[in-house]
Amino acid sequence: MSAAIEITGLTKVYGEKRALDGVDLEVPAGSIFGFLGPNGAGKTTTLRILTGLAHPSAGEARVFGRDVVSATNEVRADIGFLPDVPGYYEWMTAPEFLRFAGHLFGLTGSVLDDRVEALLDLAGLTGVTQKVGGFSRGMKQRLGVAQALINAPKLLMLDEPTSALDPIGRKEVLDMIASLGGRTTVFFSTHILSDVERVCDTVAILHEGRVVTQAPMGELKARYGTSKLVVGVTGGADALAVRFAAEPWAAEVARGENGSIEITVADLAEARRAVPAAVTEAGVGLTRFESGEVSLEEVFVDLVGGER
């Protein structure tokens, strides 16, 4: 599998602050890759280094095999980038803005015409004649993504593309990102878990300047949460919870909604045998017995902690 981005030991120090502390990351070509982390984790710093806007203190980063420091111009020709706070010329219309962006890449004539038309369509902005200054945030952001695609990049990088948007604006930007799947590698940073769950096939979680995990979405959930049971009983839940917590097949027992018992199990087969038996023995009824699917949120909180 070829890599769109390979990062090894990437470190960025600002004075006393280690914004990045030995980041290792591999973004497969063709993936829609979510770079997930809380505020201050180092996402923007990573994107700035990849786009040649900041220099690493140590380590290296390659885009399609090229070093981002020694081959910055070649790397830039392969990428499209939407920064976290993009600037727009508010007096332009969407086609004017895209044509302007195209000229900066030396595009002219029918190549530029065709690309502007296709990108307006992709952004859902065909026929919109008002000036960018009157756009909603969602429209602006869709235009921003279109602008980042004007040079037909092999890799599109977006820094927190949905963070300032309302739910509808977010959905539209995410749909736009999803529609690029298979055509362009997309690497986008976010702190919004549901964005990643909705469109990404691969995810890395960044925390305090380090990648704490990286995996395809399905694998990540399977790795952290195959074995969770939710048990509901007609009575005696407290005593049963205490009893389950002492069992070798239970890794962790917590109380969930409506008095349910949530068990993170070390041995699912054994738990499936033992739980109904214990409920029967306690002389109460079983109202719920489910294998719960772990959410990305649980994986995230598990890895990053909820202490902030």
CB 60, min distance to ligand ATP, A? 18
Residue 180 in contact with residue 186, Cβ under 8 Å? yes
- Choose between 16 and 257: whose C-beta lies nearer to ligand ATP: 16
- Choose between 40 and 256: whose C-beta lies nearer to ligand ATP: 40
Residues that bind ligand ATP (rule: CB under 6 A) add up to a total of: 12
- Choose between 86 and 124: whose C-beta lies nearer to ligand ATP: 86
Tell me the three state secondary structure of residue 238: helix
- Choose between 46 and 184: whose C-beta lies nearer to ligand ATP: 46
CB 126, min distance to ligand ATP, A? 32
Q: Which helix (H) or strand (E) holds 18?
A: strand 17-28
Ranges within 101-130 binding ligand ATP (CB under 6 A): none
Ranges within 41-80 binding ligand ATP (CB under 6 A): 41-45
304 counts as binding ligand ATP under rule CB under 6 A: no
Ranges within 151-180 binding ligand ATP (CB under 6 A): none
CB atoms within 10 A of CB 125: 19
- SS3 letters across 27-95: EECCCEEEEECCCCCCHHHHHHHHCCCCCCCEEEEEECCEECCCCHHHHHHHEEEECCCCCCCCCCEHH
- Choose between 50 and 174: whose C-beta lies nearer to ligand ATP: 50
**Which of the stretches 32-40, 88-96, 143-151, 300-308 binds ligand ATP when contact is defined by CB under 6 A?**
32-40
d(CA 296, CA 299): 5
CB 188, min distance to ligand ATP, A? 12
d(CA 164, CA 168): 12
- Choose between 44 and 202: whose C-beta lies nearer to ligand ATP: 44
CB 46, min distance to ligand ATP, A? 7
Q: Which residues of 34-49 are buried (b: 16+ CB within 10 A; e: fewer)?
A: bbbbeeebbbbbbbbb
Q: What is the token pair recorded at 287?
A: 């109202």
Out of 4, 21, 37, 120, name the contact with ligand ATP by CB under 6 A: 37
Out of 8, 17, 234, 239, name the contact with ligand ATP by CB under 6 A: 17
Match 């976290």 to its residue by tokens.
84
217 counts as binding ligand ATP under rule CB under 6 A: no
Residues 6+ apart with CB under 8 A from 261: 230, 231, 232, 233, 237, 240, 241, 244, 253, 254, 255
39 counts as binding ligand ATP under rule CB under 6 A: yes
CB 79, min distance to ligand ATP, A? 18
CB 243, min distance to ligand ATP, A? 43
Handedness of CA 67, 73, 74, 80 (dihedral sign): positive
d(CA 225, CA 252): 12
Tell me the three state secondary structure of residue 166: coil
CB 42, min distance to ligand ATP, A? 4
**Sites of contact with ligand ATP (CB under 6 A):** 14, 17, 19, 37, 39-45, 191
